[in-house]
Amino acid sequence: MMTKIIGVGNYIPSETITNLFFDKHIFLNEKGDLLKEDNASITDKLKKITGIEERRYADNTQVTSDLGLIAAQSAIQNSGIDPETLDYIIFAHNFGDVRFGTVQSDMVPSLAARVKHLLGIRNNFCVAYDVLFGCPGWIEGVIQANAFIKSGIAKRCLVIGAETLSRVVDIHDRDSMIYADGAGAVILENNDDESGIKSHLSASYTFKEKDYLYFGKTYNNEGCPDTKFIKMDGRKIYEFALVNVPDAMKKCLDNSGYSITQLNKIIIHQANEKMDEAIVSRFYQLYDTPVPENIMPMVISKLGNSSVATIPSLLTMILNGELEQHTIQKGDVVLFASVGAGMNINAFVYQF
């Protein structure tokens, strides 16, 4: 018995934020000093390093669970199932519902419970819970759903990844330009044919690495020190990812039984274009094999980094034929991989 994706959906917010949006921002360093570069130079450097030209922000009336609901409804419609037949709803996020103009996170009840309620599901044995696992949260939700299905506990699961990072950024921190909002979802069910999840892997590096991504105070010394924002040590994350993610990807692929030449696509968390390219390059170096053309779809240039939403949202775009250079056909082997706060790494190999 295999765990198969039978429906996909996403929600890409309509508000496009170009790099020009940050032209009037006052960017400071950790000490609170004004950065020496002008904002045009700062955004130009951002584009060269991360590839980001635009990102999407949620409407001021929306919260994370709203975005997740829309993606879930799309996945349910795409699958054609009755939502009452769902055994689990797993919602991956990191900051809960943060309403526009506020700084307080709301996670009670869980975002999964909110989505289940709004879907109108009456089945009390459809279990709804959240996963907090950094940017790899959606993949971890898929891995958990796979465990439920393989063990016979569940037959059908909905896994959502959604985030509104625009609500938890420090406007004085240039790293705030990376982050975006969005949502993606899949329906998984047990399957008797050859398609489905073939292998998976998860790891948490916490001994030295746990604070590479963290919640910290604003760089504005006049701001409230008790209000926290998402912060990161970009250099350490980059070095950590390049050392550890390719090895994890190789172990996961090797465990699947497929060879590197059988791999058709790599769908990796859209964190940083240059970092993702370097990760994939090192991954292929481990097999002493050149990187094939069009192996790694990227949409970060237009959508930014929406954390747990990047992978399911990108998968939906590919399967819906929205990316001209990328398709997934029946029988294709795809490696999914992510890295993020924790520091966590995970991956799974899937045959369509």
- Average pLDDT over the chain reads 94
Answer whether residue 220 shows pLDDT above 90. Answer: no
Q: What is the pLDDT of residue 190?
A: 93
Answer whether residue 331 shows pLDDT above 90. Answer: yes
Q: What is the pLDDT of residue 281?
A: 97
Confidence band for 20, pLDDT divided at 50, 70 and 90? confident
Mean pLDDT is highest, among 5-14, 16-25, 101-110, for 5-14
Answer whether residue 329 shows pLDDT above 80. Answer: yes
Confidence band for 24, pLDDT divided at 50, 70 and 90? confident
Give me the mean pLDDT over the 181-207 stretch.
95
Give me the mean pLDDT over the 85-102 stretch.
96
Q: What is the pLDDT of residue 37?
A: 87
Confidence band for 59, pLDDT divided at 50, 70 and 90? very high
Q: What is the pLDDT of residue 194?
A: 87
Least confident of 3-7, 41-45, 181-185: 41-45
pLDDT digit string (tens) for 151-180?
Answer: 999 999 999 999 999 999 989 888 899 999
Instruction: Kindly list the structural domains of the chain, giving each domain's residue range(s) and its CATH number in brackets, ordered by start.
Output: 2-193 (3.40.47.10), 198-351 (3.40.47.10)
Top pLDDT among 226 and 329 is at: 329
Written in H, E and C, the secondary structure of the chain is: CEEEEEEEEEECCCEEEEHHHHCCCCCECCCCCECCCCHHHHHHHHHHHHCCCEEEECCCCCCHHHHHHHHHHHHHHHHCCCHHHCCEEEEECCCCECCCCCCCCECCCCHHHHHHHHHCCCCCCCEEEEECCCCCHHHHHHHHHHHHHHHCCCCEEEEEEEEEHHHCCCCCCHHHHHECEEEEEEEEEEECCCCEEEEEEEEECCCCCCCCEEEEECCCCCCCCCCEEEEECHHHHHHHHHHHHHHHHHHHHHHHCCCHHHEEEEEECCCCHHHHHHHHHHHHHCCCCCCCCCCCCCCHHHHCECHHHHHHHHHHHHHCCCCCCCCCCCCCEEEEEEEECCCEEEEEEEEC
Q: What is the pLDDT of residue 193?
A: 86
Answer whether residue 260 shows pLDDT above 90. Answer: yes
Q: What is the pLDDT of residue 88?
A: 98
Give me the mean pLDDT over the 308-320 stretch.
97
Answer whether residue 76 shows pLDDT above 80. Answer: yes
Q: What is the pLDDT of residue 145?
A: 98
Answer whether residue 224 shows pLDDT above 80. Answer: no
